[in-house]
Amino acid sequence: MASTYFKLLFNFILFIFTISPTSSHPLDPLTPEELTLVRTIVIGATSNNDTIFHYVALDEPDKPLVLYWLSNPMSTPPPRRALAITRVDKETHEFIVDLSTQSIISDKLVSDHHGYPTLTLEEETEVSELPFSYVPFIESMNRRGLNLSAVICSPNTLGWFGQEKTKRNVKLQCFYLNNGSINYYAFPIDGIWMIANLDKMKIVEYSDRYTKPIPKSEGTDYRFSEQKPPFGPRINRAAICQPDGPGIEIEGHMVRWGNWKFHVSFDARAGTMISTAFIYDEEAQKSRSVLYRGYVSEVFVPYMDPTLDRFSDTFFDAGEYGLGYNAVSLVALLDCPNNAVFMDGYYARFDGLPVKVPRAICLFERYAGDIMWRHTETGISSTTINEVRPDRSLVARMVSRVGNYDYAFDKEFKLTGSIHMEVSLTGILYMKATEYTNNCQIEKEIFGPLVSENTIGSNHDHFFMYRLDLDIDGVQNSMVKRHLVTKRNRNYDTPRKSYWTVVSKTAKTESDAKLQYGLDPIQVLIVNPNEKTRLGNSHGYRLAPASIVHPLLTRDDYPQIRAAFTENDVWVTPYNKSEKWASGWYVDRSRGRDTLAVWTRRDREIHNKDIVLWHLMGIHHVPSQEDYPIMPTLKARFELHPNNYFERNPVLKVIPPEPVTPCNCTASPT
């Protein structure tokens, strides 16, 4: 009895407190010590203390080496290497660093024609301060009667619009803290075109076409302390009770829950990465591979305002800014429930030194009263059968605040074998000032609806591209398009006139796999053609999209050239560890020459190969007044479902939980 008590106590303590990462898996992210070592090695090799580190991450080991280690965990792990993308003397370098020998394996000089690396947070901060000592800007504020100390500026990437040569320039957009409201996005200072160069760290272009007033401040502050009655509705307190202790086991970055085990890591560009996900098949009595690596490869957010002030506002949130760089520390009991476990994240700042993001990722068991499966049977005389199993899932969550938007990224694992990917969008609209206060006054295109007096909420899109390296019972997989085809009834003597049937086609090359969801009902499966059920069906997983969005820009528009990967909802490529980012490695001011759309022009074979599924989801966002002054969450999601992966229902024999007596749960603030 005592041993059981101490075991539960130990699990509870493990569950409540942040889990510290340890290096034991080949795909573990770089530790703070390793980040520091990379810095030392690179600076020592370049003899340049002015080296700027833009992206430092694990140089992913070759996949066969990782798979061999997974099947032989006592073997020597793959070499531990790091990738460091830097700017040295205004040139971009890619360093591959061997951490065991403490040496540089390669130093590749990258042409600026490819684009520039992710902005560092430090240079974003530094460039934002330039206007406050720039005389023309100060004069503009004086003409407007604005207090310079209440002005906030931030850098917006400029994109590419056909220029022969580009520089590391950004546009500075400024806002005003109006009458004590902290919602400065509601008070854009429009009419100013201000361009700064990041390498020279100076303003290189400036013009002021002062035409629009700053909107009024009433009703813009979203802090609860600033709200006025009436209030409501009230959210009653709630907590999750787990008398048997948590169901999550975490060792380093390996997570075990239910029938799942997988690896969770933090990346400065992608945010959360899920790797080497296996599910235990009770019938087969073995662990089976499902997902080798899955993460958000890019987030493309083009705004639909072609005017001089805003035409360049077409952002790549992962490639230009970094979802991990902008990860926030999750708030216990608010961002995550009381049964959550937290993981810290680490990235290298501009000088290469490690930065800790406390509570960057949380993992928690979700029970929302959903049903896993059930049936009530009353057709048998003298008896009623009720069989119900409550649903459970495990969620890995990270929140990234990129400018005015907050994204909550969820990776959810179900006991049924399904994996759900979801993004919750909230934060603050990107707004523009206008002289209009009512729709009846509008006489010209304003590129978005009025969301408040003198305030336009700009029309825009959110495209989320996921890279999903599925390994369905091994690496040899294929992509199957399953068409649901309507047929006339001509063969059977019944009154039925029509029915639908399934016509399946296996994609042989990359061009065969490209797919846009539309009016034709079609299903996408990734299958292992070499592994069959006892009935002869290929083991597989089905993609179940829920948030389909297609680009509405013309294909010759420059932002769309850079984001050509949004032209299909589904792409399939042969595995290539260097093809990680749908928008290319160097996205800032890129020209669309190194993207998923370009790679697939080779039309490589994908049948019975190690393949990668790319899936696009998103939202066309036409703002409304309910989005002001701060947005309730909008959601985009898709699911991966087992399809003949198991011999039968994998949760048929799930052990039902014992009833829990209602209790007062103590919610821990840690």
Beta bridge partners of 361: 343
Would you mind telling me the total number of residues written for the chain in this entry?
A: 670
**pLDDT tens track for 54-99:** 999 999 999 999 999 999 988 899 999 999 999 999 999 999 999 9
Q: What is the pLDDT of residue 13?
A: 33
| Mean pLDDT in residue range 417-423 | 98
Q: What is the pLDDT of residue 662?
A: 67
Query: Can you list the positions of beta strands (E) in 428-567?
Result: 431-433, 450-452, 455-457, 460-470, 478-488, 498-506, 522-532, 538-545
Reported confidence tier of residue 3, pLDDT bands at 50, 70, 90: very low
Calpha distance 405→279 (Å, rounded):
35
Calpha distance 469→614 (Å, rounded):
8
pLDDT at 19 over 60: no
Other beta carbons within 10 Å of 387: 10
Element (H, E) at 448: none
| Mean pLDDT in residue range 101-106 | 96
Contacts of residue 101, defined as CB under 8 A and 6 or more positions apart, other chains included, come to none
Least confident segment among 6-15, 248-257, 441-450: 6-15
Instruction: Identify which of 484, 555, 495 has the alpha carbon closest to the alpha carbon of residue 524.
Output: 484
405 as an active site residue: the answer is: yes
Please identify which of the residues 185, 405, 541, 645 carries the catalytic annotation.
Answer: 405
Reported confidence tier of residue 238, pLDDT bands at 50, 70, 90: confident
Expressed in angstroms, the distance from the first to the final Cα of the chain is: 28
- Model confidence, pTM: 0.94
* Diameter of the chain measured on Cα atoms: 90
Dihedral (C-alpha) 203, 204, 209, 213: value to the nearest 10 degrees?
Answer: -20
Reported confidence tier of residue 7, pLDDT bands at 50, 70, 90: very low
pLDDT at 143 over 60: yes
Other beta carbons within 10 Å of 440: 7
**pLDDT tens track for 371-390:** 999 999 999 988 999 999 99
86 residue type, one letter: T
Q: What is the pLDDT of residue 16?
A: 35
Q: What is the pLDDT of residue 210?
A: 83
Contacts of residue 464, defined as CB under 8 A and 6 or more positions apart, other chains included, come to 296, 298, 299, 423, 616, 617, 618, 636
Q: Which position has the higher pLDDT, 214 or 364?
A: 364
H-assigned helices in 254-299 = none
Reported confidence tier of residue 664, pLDDT bands at 50, 70, 90: low
Please identify which of the residues 317, 461, 469, 473 carries the catalytic annotation.
Answer: 317
Burial class (CB in 10 A: 0-12, 13-18, 19+), 312: buried
Q: What is the pLDDT of residue 6?
A: 34
**pLDDT tens track for 624-650:** 999 999 999 999 999 999 999 999 999
Reported confidence tier of residue 666, pLDDT bands at 50, 70, 90: low
User: Residue 617 in contact with residue 549, Cβ under 8 Å?
Assistant: yes
Dig out the tokens for 253 from the structure.
Answer: 């970055």
Reported confidence tier of residue 18, pLDDT bands at 50, 70, 90: very low
| Mean pLDDT in residue range 231-244 | 88
Q: What is the CA radius of gyration of the chain?
A: 27
Summary mean pLDDT of the chain: 93
Calpha distance 428→405 (Å, rounded):
6
Provide, rounded to the nearest whole percent, the portion of the chain with pLDDT above 70: 95
Q: What is the pLDDT of residue 212?
A: 66
Calpha distance 536→290 (Å, rounded):
20
pLDDT at 8 over 70: no
**pLDDT tens track for 182-213:** 999 999 999 999 999 999 999 999 999 987 67
